[in-house]
Amino acid sequence: MSTVMKIENLEAKIGDKQILKGLNLELEPGKVHAIMGPNGAGKSTLSKAIVGHYDIEVLGGDITFKGKSILEMEPEERALEGIFLSFQHPVEIPGVNNAYFLRTALNAKRKHQGKEELNAAEFLREMKSHLADLGMKSDMISRSLNEGFSGGEKKRNEILQMLILEPEVIILDEIDSGLDIDALRQVSEGINKMKDGKRTFLVITHYSRILDYIEPDYIHVLKDGKVIKTAGAELVPYLEEHGYDGIKED
């Protein structure tokens, strides 16, 4: 199997507590990998470790992206290389205009790629179709970033960023939490629009509900800081019936 991202024997802690205890995972290009597991298994810690969150101290192991270790990279360097995390709880930033933020992020990416930066008018043209697809009102981009957004609006705004930045590895951390059925469908459509056989998805979830909308190629079960089982989508109904306790380590 070719890999776009390889996580080898990763050990990491938050504060004094070691969460990841020798985690191994390989992501295949163009595939949807779902990470499932009980509370406290280390799902969100894994996503934070990949994007270089300040909370995480890596104790051992490595994460390589397209053959290159990313552990020494700053969060923005990882993002520019093509790694994107859709946050479970996107932070509110009063005073930062959403459109200004999105254009700054897009232009940082374009500059990194050696492309011309977009002016405000070009950027807004780019945005229009994405907003319509996600069922977002146009005034959402003129508001302060995530400030006063409902749970659904925040998740849509995350997907909007994903559509604009066109990353290669997309981590969706509990993307379905706080979404009603309609919002879940629209968010999923946005995600599925990005499935082009090249981009790789890491879908982190407690529940299988999101997997009804985004069909996974692989299911990885995470328990006590390690991946204990990897299987195909057929594992989902088994998990629903037996829970995580019924899973035996590979």
Contacting positions for another protein (CB under 8 A): 51, 53-54, 74-76, 79-80, 84-85, 87, 90-91, 93-96, 101, 104-105, 108-109, 112, 144, 161, 165
Closest distance to another protein from the beta carbon of 110 (Å): 10
Phi-psi region of 225 (alpha: psi -120 to 50; beta: other; left: phi over 0): left
- Cβ-in-10-Å burial (0-12, 13-18, 19+) of 48 comes to buried
Closest distance to another protein from the beta carbon of 146 (Å): 9
Closest distance to another protein from the beta carbon of 131 (Å): 18
Nearer to another protein, 70 or 80 (CB): 80
Nearer to another protein, 59 or 96 (CB): 96
Nearer to another protein, 14 or 105 (CB): 105
Could you give the count of Cα atoms lying within 13 Å of 12 in the half-sphere of its Cβ?
Answer: 30
Closest distance to another protein from the beta carbon of 144 (Å): 8
Closest distance to another protein from the beta carbon of 49 (Å): 13
The C-alpha atoms of residue 47 and residue 89 are separated, in whole angstroms, by 13
**Which SS3 state, helix, strand or coil, does residue 228 take?**
strand
Residue 60 backbone dihedrals phi, psi, to 5 degrees = -170, 170
* Rg over CA atoms, the chain: 18
86, 157 contact by CB (below 8 A): no
Nearer to another protein, 120 or 242 (CB): 120
Phi-psi region of 171 (alpha: psi -120 to 50; beta: other; left: phi over 0): beta
Nearer to another protein, 104 or 177 (CB): 104
Closest distance to another protein from the beta carbon of 231 (Å): 30
Closest distance to another protein from the beta carbon of 247 (Å): 31
Nearer to another protein, 48 or 223 (CB): 48
Can you list the alpha helix ranges (DSSP code H) found in the chain?
43-51, 75-81, 98-112, 120-133, 151-165, 181-193, 235-242
Nearer to another protein, 39 or 113 (CB): 113
How many beta carbons lie within 10 A of that of residue 214, not counting itself?
20
